Structure 1
């Protein structure tokens, strides 16, 4: 019988300082046990308050330090597993019975928007939701979480009052609270609501599947536009199929199945040194060209530069070879740069900011602008 391979590295420490907080999460400086007092023994540690409460300075905490010790990027910090001397009180009783992070030590039970005891069950079993009808709602799908603020910037440029709902899938971070961008964008009124689907959790609404999450966005939250992107922490292996962004193609299939208008935001870079991500990333060509089997729009900002012409050529080749019915849609780029510079969060993708990898954000913003203009048609 196979045994479970231990891959988690435990550490114990003491909270020394609160370094930041946002809804659902607190970041601490924690001194590891057995240290000699050097600054190198202070580590960044994140606590999800819904799981472990809110440790105080001086509290002993148990940490999962695996990602930190391996020097990972987005998830490269320690996570508070428990503050054993300050356990949180039991939450209020709930009728919800949908378990997420299932069969892990930190599994949790939620009221899902689509379950029988949900106050929205009548809507979810009503004629529109039950038949799977998004009523032609535009749905922007992207690969990287960093695309979210750029997509919203493009939407708001032309339709600042559109109700936009973000659906976080479970390819990256599972807790929505990990995303400071979502917290800030929600605080500024750029999002009308959030839905966490699959194993992801912590949204305004929980949904068992992306399909029911999309229907809840439309019929429970009244979305004009939905945006579907995995949480922070894209996983990739350098192989053609081994990356979590393949779910972007599957998301477009869900949108098409439900009668929505799918919009494929291209992952583009003019700064990434890796050939497979130069221009249109192989993540987009695989997800949209091989996995997406339905009709979807492929927005391209009008860009007469050499790089813009390269991407346009790649996009038209992608359309010719795609399994589904992709359609290139040219988008006026005027005003997009100014809109991106007005975003209330710091734009960053793979460690690069707006001016370091402008195209990455420009093409996402173009997808948002295209979605906004579909509301006028």
Structure 2
């Protein structure tokens, strides 16, 4: 189903390099316009917007999406760019297909980096399902490590829709790579493997995380959700000699039983579909232990998983500092840290273990 509506632009409320935000006369009353897919709209223009997600009351549907800016009598503009910047197409075989300069492409200055074999030997790679984990990890890491994020395409394809990424792209020491059909990162790559390769070659001292953009899908079934891709990322990491470090999806506040304690979105791909030796850091203490005990017992029988307990008292100070550093409230599934502290402790445990492991590795090689 595709629902659309013709609306008029009443106000351009925000302009960035990749996107316009508009106030409109119909639909949701607000819309986003991706500037690489549409020419800019101005006040008074009529546009066709996709209203499907809003009509279905989906979590990702707070905004309509501009499909086309209708021409007026004096408007002869037909293209956004006269010269393509690369030959790799994203959104292939859709009306919005467009070319990007993929880093692996022969016309890219970075092409030579991809001719060698990928090695992640002695490299730890953070694996995180939810987009909200990324910015929390960034704040926890930022005073100690730069961060490269490989964004896969199982959720949002246009990265500019993310307010978190808009903020992170303005921070020194952060670099994003959009893989597959996802687009809008600082670099574009064909797949997660070449994203990891570029990160390892160009940013050898940076932390690396693989995650999704916003808007992951779920169906309440065993395998029907975007986060199942974590197993593939972990296996890729292990295949090239690295060690996946899983950011556990934890919750006390989620009303859905499958997400209580350690979410099945972590447990299922990690236990059933991952063969690579994996690290699973978990918070431990009087608050966390009773909430995680049942899940830990189920996971403990799998020999490829090393659970690492991180004392809560080591994690709270960092999370409190994160809250002070962030210019906006940090949330996951609409919940702030005071509403679901276990989620934030899970991210902090993974980052804390990662930093300690990196420190040990550095000390051993000095």
TM over 0.5: yes
Count of residue pairs brought into register by the alignment: 352
Residue 93 of structure 1 is matched in structure 2 by 83
Cα displacement string for residues 227-262 of structure 1 (whole angstroms, at most 9, x for unaligned residues): 111110010000010001000111111111122221
Spell out the pairing of 1:63-82 with structure 2 (5 A cutoff): 63-82=49-68
Give 3-state SS (helix, strand or coil) of 2:2's partner: coil
Structure 1 residue 364 displacement after superposition: 1.0
Q: 1:22 to 1:288 in 2, by over 3 A?
A: farther
1:141-156 matches, within 5 Å, as 141-156=127-142
Map of 1:38 onto structure 2: none
1:75 Cα deviation from its structure 2 partner: 3.3
Q: CA deviation at 1:53?
A: 2.8
RMSD (Å) for aligned C-alpha atoms: 1.9
C-alpha distance in 2 between matches for 1:23 and 1:344: 21
Shift of 1:84: 2.2
Structure 2: distance between partners of 1:319 and 1:131: 34
Give, in angstroms, the shift of residue 223 of structure 1: 5.0
- Higher mean Cα deviation, 135-144 or 272-281? 135-144
Q: What is the correspondence of 1:99-110 to structure 2 with a 5 Å cutoff?
A: 99-110=89-100
Instruction: Confirm or deny that 1:268 pairs with 2:274.
Output: no
8 Å CA contact 2:28–2:64 kept in 1: the answer is no
Partners of 1:266 and 1:42 in 2: CA distance:
35
User: Aligned partners of 1:209, 1:23: CA distance in 2, in Å?
Assistant: 24
- Quote the Cα distance in structure 2 between the aligned partners of 1:194 and 1:204: 5
Residue 96 of structure 1 and its aligned partner are, at CA, apart by: 1.8
Q: 2:34 aligns with which of 45, 48, 59?
A: 48
Deviation per CA, 1:198-234: give whole Å up to 9, x if none.
1111111111110011111121344521111111001
1:367 & 1:23 partners in 2: Cα distance?
33
In the TM superposition, 1:185-200 aligns within 5 A as: 185-189=168-172, 191-200=173-182
Q: Residue 347 of structure 1: CA displacement? A: 1.3
Counterpart of 2:19 in structure 1 is: 25
Q: Which residue of 1 aligns with 2:114?
A: 124
- Cα deviation, 1:306-354, whole Å, max 9, x if unaligned, reads x43331442342131x4x6111112232423213312334312112122
Task: State the distance in 1 between where 2:229 and 2:171 align.
Answer: 28
Deviation at 1:88, TM superposition (A): 6.7
Counterpart CA distance in 2 for 1:344 and 1:182 is 13
Alignment map for 1:171-320 (pairs within 5 Å): 171-189=154-172, 191-305=173-287, 307-320=288-301
Partner of 2:355: 372
Higher-RCO chain (CA-CA 8 Å, sequence separation at least 6): 1
Instruction: Quote the Cα distance in structure 2 between the aligned partners of 1:20 and 1:291.
Output: 43
- TM-score by length of structure 1 reads 0.88
Q: Which whole-Å CA distance do the structure 1 matches of 2:213 and 2:12 have between them? A: 24
Q: Report the Cα distance in structure 2 between the residues aligned to 1:364 and 1:121, rounded to whole angstroms.
A: 34
Pair 1:185–1:285, CA change in 2 (3 A): same
Contact 1:143 1:229 in 2 (8 A): yes
Name the CA shift for 1:64/1:302 in 2 (closer, same or farther; >3 Å): same
Q: Report the alpha carbon displacement of residue 132 of structure 1 after superposing the two structures with TM.
A: 1.5
1:4 match: none
User: What corresponds to 1:327 in structure 2?
Assistant: 306
- Deviations along 1:50-95, one digit per CA (max 9) or x if unpaired, are 2113211111111111111111112332100111226574325246
C-alpha distance in 1, partners of 2:67/2:236? 35
Alpha-carbon contact 1:98-1:112 (below 8 Å) kept: yes
Distance 2:67 2:233 in 1: 32
